[in-house]
Amino acid sequence: MKQVDVAIIGGGPAGMTAAIELAAGGAKLSVIDAYPQLGGHYFKQSPKELMQQEADVTDGRQAEYRSLVNAVDKKNIEILSDTAVWSIFLNEEGTIEGQNNGRPDKATGFTLHLQGPHDVASLQARYLLLAPGAYDRPMAFPGWHLPGVITPGGAQMLLKGYGILPGKRVLVAGSGPLLLAVGAGLAEAGAEVVAVLDAASMWDGAFKIPAVFWGQKERVKDAWKYWSTLKRKQIPLLFGHAIFRALGEDAVTAAVYGRVDAQGRPIKQSEMVVEVDTICVALGFLPNLALTRHLECEHTYNATLDTFYPRYADTMETTVPNVFVAGDVTGVGGKDMSKLQGRAAGLSILGKLGYLSGEQVKSRLQPLQTGFQREERFIRMLQDRLQARPGLFEVIDDDTFICSCEMVTAGRIKAAIDDGAQDIRGVKLRTRCGMGACQGRYCESNVAHLISQATNRPRETVGTMSIRPPLIPILAGNILE
């Protein structure tokens, strides 16, 4: 079986930066990425076959991406693209042979099982760096299961990755900075964007944190660019607004939206109906916890964002020894935070491998601190804008699907709670909610809220979904191999 020092899972900004750092330090590594091209969602790239022309070098983001890719290429880092990890096991003691500071050494390490076009079905690694990123946090409302409702991330993927316009008349709604980018992107590409709705008020977070925009030239420039596109195309950007319902038989034909108060409670009198064929909606992001949960890392609950995150030390190591994390899986940090964390994790692992001394690791981590502080200020502002607004759940009626995999409605979940279910486990046993193909990735946040509201208990006490291998549906034959 193939053996490496480090397996990096996720080839976005965090994974790429870590890979460059590790390879420069002499570590042998593999990067496992689910997509055809490195870059993650931030640098979303087209598959090679679909590239239209040479990348636009005047685009700052493309230039940054090119320099990262060039560095990865130069280091001859093995990239397993289009590949999914469907399980990871802790090896028995002393399974992996390797080098520690030039001396032969045996370690415990991990065995990863992969599914992809490469000839590598499994891989052994002494250290793991998990950089699986985040995905759109679903917002449940009547009609959200209708074809035509997609996530902003999904829309970006179609638009930037495949050159596809997902719809002709589009409503963009939810909360978070991605909405602005998606609204502007769709409009530039020729869609009629009827409005961009953000549940946050315009100034949420902006003035509470001193010097929040200090050193954020790139973010301010991006926001300005998106905002001017919306302005030029006369697309209303409505703060303190949210979607109430999606209408349609087989697919979306219209959306009902209106004003919400600071808690997200819908203000019924402000209701408007607009004809659309597509609705892009999400409430910020959820970290992709499939791997950290599968490996039984400890998680902590962030009440502002209503999300769990893996616990990690300054070295980026989780509570499971030799498992490191970096990037948006640790919070909604964005690209710069991801790169900083990727570097920090890379340096720490080099220290563990013996390629750097403890002193060297310390002195190289030190200069990253200013960056970390700058990003943390910004993240506090983002948290304010993305904070959980319990009132947004008021639009959910008994027929609203909560778990689409197993087709469980809010009404059935309420019935399960009346029947005595006190937590996610209880609801799961009675309704199969969260037991479908997505393993609860897309219903957990909504189910948890419904339970905590109905039982009057804090969110963190009602439990979580458990994710088990295979993490994605695979052929039974692959398990036997």
Partner 1 sequence: MSDQQNQPALPVATRLHPRNNAGAIQVIINGKQVSACRGETVAVALLLSGRRIFTQASRYNLNRTLFCGMGVCHQCLVTVDGVRDVRACMTKIRPGMKIETRFKMEHSYETS
Residues engaged in binding partner 1 (CB under 8 A) = 34, 36, 41, 46-50, 52, 82, 84, 135-136, 138, 145-151, 153-159, 162-168, 189-190, 249-251, 277-278, 288, 401, 404-405, 407, 432, 436-438, 441-442, 472-473, 475
- Report the nearest approach of partner 1 to the CB of residue 200 (Å): 22
- Report the nearest approach of partner 1 to the CB of residue 164 (Å): 5
**Radius of gyration, alpha carbons of the chain:** 23
Beta bridge partners of 275: 254
> Quick one: 322 or 338, whose CB is closer to partner 1?
338
How many Cβ atoms are within 10 Å of 226's Cβ, its own excluded? 23
> Quick one: 209 or 415, whose CB is closer to partner 1?
415
Cβ proximity of 66 and 37 under 8 Å:
no
The label of the residue with tokens 């899972």 reads: 9
Let me know how long the chain is: 481
- Report the nearest approach of partner 1 to the CB of residue 158 (Å): 6
How do beta strands 78-80 and 110-115 pair? unpaired
- Report the nearest approach of partner 1 to the CB of residue 177 (Å): 18
> Quick one: 353 or 467, whose CB is closer to partner 1?
467
> Quick one: 215 or 436, whose CB is closer to partner 1?
436
C-alpha 447/C-alpha 423 separation (Å) is 9
- Report the nearest approach of partner 1 to the CB of residue 201 (Å): 28
Joined together, the tokens standing for residue 82 give: 């289009």
Cβ proximity of 56 and 5 under 8 Å:
no
> Quick one: 11 or 153, whose CB is closer to partner 1?
153
> Quick one: 145 or 377, whose CB is closer to partner 1?
145
- Report the nearest approach of partner 1 to the CB of residue 77 (Å): 22
- Report the nearest approach of partner 1 to the CB of residue 252 (Å): 9
> Over the range 392-411, which residues count as b (16 or more CB within 10 Å of their CB) and which as e?
bbebbeeebbbbbbbebbbe
> Over the range 107-143, which residues count as b (16 or more CB within 10 Å of their CB) and which as e?
bebbbbbbbbeeebeebbbbbbbbbbbbbbbbbbbbb
- Report the nearest approach of partner 1 to the CB of residue 317 (Å): 25
- Report the nearest approach of partner 1 to the CB of residue 199 (Å): 20
Query: Residue 453 burial by CB count (10 A; 0-12/13-18/19+): exposed, middle or buried?
Result: middle
Beta bridge partners of 404: none
> Quick one: 356 or 403, whose CB is closer to partner 1?
403
> Quick one: 313 or 437, whose CB is closer to partner 1?
437
Cβ proximity of 153 and 136 under 8 Å:
yes
How do beta strands 323-325 and 307-310 pair? unpaired
> Quick one: 143 or 346, whose CB is closer to partner 1?
143
Cis before 321? omega within 30: no
- Report the nearest approach of partner 1 to the CB of residue 69 (Å): 18
Instruction: List the end-to-end C-alpha distance of the chain, in Å, as a whole number.
Output: 13
> Quick one: 71 or 146, whose CB is closer to partner 1?
146
C-alpha 236/C-alpha 330 separation (Å) is 33
- Report the nearest approach of partner 1 to the CB of residue 411 (Å): 12
Cβ proximity of 72 and 79 under 8 Å:
yes
- Report the nearest approach of partner 1 to the CB of residue 138 (Å): 8
> Quick one: 255 or 381, whose CB is closer to partner 1?
255
How many Cβ atoms are within 10 Å of 373's Cβ, its own excluded? 10
C-alpha 451/C-alpha 423 separation (Å) is 7
> Quick one: 161 or 346, whose CB is closer to partner 1?
161
Q: Nearest-5° angle of CA 314, CA 319, CA 321? A: 95
DSSP 92: P
